[in-house]
Amino acid sequence: MKIYYSDIHRRHNPPFEVFDGGQRAPYLETPDRIDKILTALGKTDWADITEPADFGLDPILAVHDPGYINFLATAWDEWIACQPASDSMPDNPVLLPATFALRRHPHKPASLLGRAGYYIMDLSACIVAGTYEAALASANCALSGAKFIAGNRINTSPLANRPSTAFALCRPPGHHAGKDYAAGYCFINNAAVAANWLSGKGRVALLDIDYHACNGTQDIFYDRSDVLTVSLHGDPNFEYPYYAGYPDETGAGDGINFHYNYPLPSGVGDSAYITTLEKALDIILDFSPKFLVVSVGMDIYKNDPLGKFNVSNKGIQGIGNHISKLGLPTLVVMEGGYDNRTLGKNIVAFLASFDRP
């Protein structure tokens, strides 16, 4: 299996984030997450780890607002040039706004901190010196995987004529990033960029199985019928991102009935999760896509610090088995998952289903 990975992700390593209630905490979305996955993949006999190609900005600008991407590209240098007072510029500075724009057609201010509040949704989307470069490399991993599944099939026995699969080991993740905002550790929506690129070659289904609702992906494809989006996630009445992921959000305009949300209660285990997944997969089959993109988050695992499901490693393997049986060219895109002790094992359990006859 092709695994697309770039070491550039290490340039994005914020020293802290701000939790609910204003608590400053160590950043959970760390390079160590990816190291754990790489170690686990290295113990398999099927992982072919490959550097991504550079696709330039055009595929990214096809789904993201140019002003937003320009903000990501320039914000850090502008922040440093502002030379904030020494007591607010520690050894490891982070660009975070203190005010946020309510999305009711707000004006975009000229000041950096004003624009930061306009383009950033929360206090986990921290910008540091290497954030933009890491986000670009992450998107290129997803695009490289998309190109691979669009042009390759596995031809060796016993997998003759089986659709190909690729895994984009993306960091930073992407599914909370909307058309013109960063959120939830996400800056460029890797899965959406890849799905949009694939949509030029045929219909695409995008299945999100991260614990948290894919508000950014929903934002990007909400009025489109060529990319079906389906998300299983913790109930946003009680879980981040709170303001998206409800069952009545089914699309708009041409996209009506091409977006499905399945919010699930706290404590959902293997059986109940897979029962809901089967409903989602039936919808995907009815859509008859040419390609499948899966935003995979291991924060569905029972011990994850940011999730409240009770899905086991065996359940994760079962989820992979069910999805792989769709028999579609599939791009798996890494999203969340913060129990680093089990992250690699869980990803391998999920991916292994796609490598088997």
User: Domains (ranges, CATH) in the chain?
Assistant: 2-8+28-59+133-355 (3.40.800.20)
The pTM score is 0.95
Q: Is residue 105 flagged as an active site residue?
A: no
pLDDT at 340 over 90: yes
Say whether pLDDT at 280 is over 70: yes
pLDDT tens track for 205-219: 999 999 999 999 999
pLDDT at 351 over 70: yes
Contacts with 319 (C-beta within 8 Å, 6 or more apart), sequence order: 209, 273, 274, 277, 311, 350
If pLDDT is split at 50, 70 and 90, which confidence band does 156 have? Answer: very low
Question: Residue 96: pLDDT above 70?
Answer: yes
Average pLDDT, the chain: 93
Task: Give residue 207's pLDDT.
Answer: 99
pLDDT of residue 102: 83
Q: Residue 85: pLDDT band by 50, 70, 90 thresholds?
A: low
In this predicted model, what pLDDT tens digit does every residue of 20-53 receive, in sequence order? 888 899 999 999 999 999 999 999 999 999 999 9
- Residue 32 has what pLDDT? 98
Q: Is the pLDDT of residue 154 over 60?
A: no
- pLDDT digits 0-9 by tens, 317-339: 999 999 999 999 999 999 999 99
Q: How many CB atoms lie within 10 A of CB 36?
A: 21
Residue 305 burial (10 A CB sphere; 0-12, 13-18, 19+):
exposed
Tokens of 111: 């000041």
Q: What is the mean pLDDT of residues 307-312?
A: 98
pLDDT tens-digit readout, 157-206: 334 456 799 999 999 999 999 999 999 999 999 999 999 999 999 999 99
Percentage with pLDDT > 90 across the chain: 87
H or E segment to which residue 233 belongs: strand 227-234
- 146 pLDDT exceeds 90? yes
Decide if 318 contacts 274 (C-beta within 8 A): yes
| pLDDT at site 103 | 74
As a whole number of angstroms, the distance between CA 136 and CA 174 comes to: 11
Q: What angle do CA 152, 293, 199 make, to 5 degrees?
A: 75
Q: How many CA atoms lie within 13 A of 250 on its CB side?
A: 5
pLDDT digit string, tens, across residues 109-135: 999 999 999 999 999 999 999 999 999
Q: What is the mean pLDDT of residues 144-149?
A: 98
State pLDDT tens for residues 255-276.
999 999 999 999 999 999 999 9
Average pLDDT estimate for 275-300:
98
Q: Which of 64, 175, 176, 233 is catalytic?
A: 176
